[in-house]
Amino acid sequence: ETGVTQSPTHLIKTRGQQVTLRCSSQSGHNTVSWYQQALGQGPQFIFQYYREEENGRGNFPPRFSGLQFPNYSSELNVNALELDDSALYLCASSSGTSRSGANVLTFGAGSRLTVL
Amino acid sequence: AQSVTQLGSHVSVSEGALVLLRCNYSSSVPPYLFWYVQYPNQGLQLLLKYTSAATLVKGINGFEAEFKKSETSFHLTKPSAHMSDAAEYFCAVSARDDKIIFGKGTRLHILP
């Protein structure tokens, strides 16, 4: 079975630009979560999608938005980039019913975003 | 609300020595608890999880963790460190909504 794949692996943007990050979930998984991991920090929860609907959101502004597609792949969009958005963005997929905190997350290797 | 505190951002142990990484949690409901490991340039990999069954949880690569409700702790141990254990370790907590909250991580260094 394939794992979670993310693209691109690295990218550089300038302040004010917009970025789209993509994630293909593991086969059989219907839930996708996005995390931001700043340098030297633990992952911070951005939001989660279950069956194409947002299913929880962390403390991130509306310029962070997402989508989940019928095949359960997902996109993270960030508008009006700021310097502090520089981080590793991790996508994780899981299976089972929604709102089950015991579900194990399978992580991708991440997309490293640098904002200049 | 849930939160996790990992004591020590860096821990160094000699190869063959005991590994002990400390984690304390705060949760308003009975929690699910996890330990994940992150190797350089990779995503996070699950080591073990606690979901209210046995309080001593065994994971992969010889790691285990013990849930102690009275101490609100979930420390990670391994009897004998190996060079390949060098990585960053994250403790995490979840309630019932599948939103997993991570600690800031502990980088484990193995000394030859």
Establish if B21 touches chain A: CB-CB under 8 angstroms: no
Tokens 């279950």 found at: A50
Which DSSP symbol is given to A112?
E
CB spacing of A42 vs B105 below 8 angstroms: yes
SS3 per-residue string spanning A38-50: CCCCCCEEEEEEE
Residue from the list B96, B100, B105 with its beta carbon closest to the beta carbon of A105: B100
CB spacing of A94 vs B98 below 8 angstroms: yes
Residue range B4-22, pLDDT digits in tens? 999 999 999 999 999 999 9
Residue from the list A48, A99, A107 with its beta carbon closest to the beta carbon of B96: A99
Residue partners of B44: CB distance under 8 A and separation at least 6: A43, A90, A92, A105, A107, B36, B37, B38, B90
Positions of chain A with pLDDT lower than 50, given as ranges = none
Residue B43: predicted pLDDT: 86
Alpha carbon distance B6, B22 (integer Å): 6
